[in-house]
Amino acid sequence: MTGTPTNVYAGIDTHQNTNHVGITNEIGKKLGDKEFPTTSTGYTALLNFILSFGTILAVGIEGTASYGAGVCAYLRSQGVLAKEVIRPNRQTRRGGKSDPIDAYAAAKTVAADLDDLPIPKLLGGAVDGIRLILKTRTTAVKARTAAITQTINFLTTAPTQVREKYADLKDPDLHTTLAKTRPAADDHLGIALRRLAKRVEFLTEEIDAANHQLADLTTQVAPALAATKSVGPISAAKLLVTAGENPERITSKAAFAALCGTSPLQASSGKITRHRLNKGGDRQANSALFDIVKSRMSSDPRTKEYVARRTAEAKSKREIMRCLKRYVAAEVYTLIINPPIVPAINDLRPLRESKKMSLRVVAEHFSVGQVKVSRIERAEARDDEFAAQYRDFLLQAA
């Protein structure tokens, strides 16, 4: 091409095997479009094609978490500003549907709404590894639940002799017993029950392994979040996956709350002023916040006080939980974006043992249960104030 290089926007309509790119200038004039394969060579050729029209201002990409993940990662590695473009509503496609039309539409969208479009998540890092393990764990849990349900259904309709034989057994003893059976070749019910039991045992081992791996990974990636009260490995994993590998793309606590579906929505009418449930956002993150709030409502003194105060104000339990989820979302955002230093506690148990002091003695001194002391020593619970007092007590002990 000849002439003075211009500033251009590009839009990419992504597919499993091809990417179709459309180029426009700053006033929306179509400059050209072309299709490229989803290979490393294709990504390079696509970028060179865009650069042949001028200086790239931004690229809008559809499906950055699916078909567009590869080209998005490549363009970002080359210093190109990539933004995620939501696929257009089919009802608004009055001009028809084709790859060039969608590519040009993405280019025009990124030109018009550059500052408002979201920055895509980065894939391929530690948080992406957590996402993969969490996904496989979720499918394993669903498969185990289906196998357990099917076992119960088979036993419910089984002959009386078989039903009575296993009537007093509960999971996991039931599946352990069924897995050890050796049914005859013509005992189809016995064969089916044994296969289901072995499937349940296998999936249970897989889920336990995933739980341990997620606990280790979340502690490595976000130690402050993992050490927070009532935040278990699964909840921490869900929240980290929602934030992504590049959480700095989320610009405020309010934005993170909206992403988690905990931002309040107006539901006022007349003299009644209230807010309603936000059904948008990432529902996995929302469920993680629900689990945290539910745990704190039963065990955390500050949360109990808040619930009592809001109940006295005639707030319903649902409304109180929505408020608490909003507060927890703000806390989680800070723990991910600007995490505090987590005090080390791995010296407590060796120090106690060097003083030849039992858990019972420590528990009696602080008027707490031995379980609490043991859990804090093993980093299964966090109480920074108690840990500091515990350390001072051990250091001063003769």
- Residue 227 domain-assigned (yes or no): no
From 248-257, 277-286, 289-298, the region with the lowest mean pLDDT: 277-286
Q: Are residues 216 and 278 in the same domain?
A: no
382 falls within a domain: yes
Nearest residue to 177 (alpha-carbon basis) of 196, 204, 160, 156: 196
Q: In this model, does residue 1 exceed pLDDT 50?
A: no
Q: Does 151 lie in the same domain as 57?
A: no
Looking at residue 215, its pLDDT comes to 93
The count of other CB atoms within 10 Å of the CB of residue 357 is 15
pLDDT computed for residue 279 by the predictor: 81
What does pTM read for this prediction? 0.81
pLDDT-wise least confident of 60-69, 269-278, 345-354: 269-278
Question: Looking at the domain assignment, is residue 140 inside a domain?
Answer: yes
Are 310 and 377 in the same domain?
no
Paired tokens of 369 = 């249960």
Q: At a CB cut-off of 8 Å and minimum separation 6, what does 313 contact?
A: none
Beta-carbon contacts of residue 182 (< 8 Å; ≥ 6 apart): none
Give the range of the structural domain holding residue 59, as residue numbers without chain letter. 7-113
Residues 252 and 207 in one domain: no
pLDDT tens for 83-136 read 999 876 665 556 668 899 999 999 999 999 888 888 888 888 899 999 999 999
* Number of folded domains that form the chain: 4
Contact 211, 193 (CB under 8 A): no
> Does residue 121 lie in a domain region?
no
Kindly write down the DSSP assignment for every residue of 97-113, as one continuous string: --HHHHHHHHHHHHHHS
Same domain, 13 and 109: yes
Residue 119 resides in a domain: no
What is the pLDDT, as a whole number, of residue 15? 94
Q: DSSP H helical segments within 231-282, as ranges?
A: 233-243, 253-259
Mean pLDDT score across all residues of the chain: 90
pLDDT at 213: 96
pLDDT in the model for residue 398: 64
**pLDDT tens-digit readout, 367-376:** 989 998 998 8
In a shared domain, residues 180 and 250: no
pLDDT of residue 386: 87
Task: Quote the tokens at residue 117.
Answer: 């479009």
**AA identity, residue 248:** E
pLDDT tens figures, 147-183: 999 999 999 999 999 999 999 998 889 999 999 999 9
User: Is 352 contained in some domain?
Assistant: yes
- Whether residues 196 and 148 fall in one domain: yes
8 Å CB contact between 197 and 178: yes
228 has pLDDT over 60? yes
Cα–chain center distance at 252: 18
Q: Are residues 295 and 268 in the same domain?
A: yes
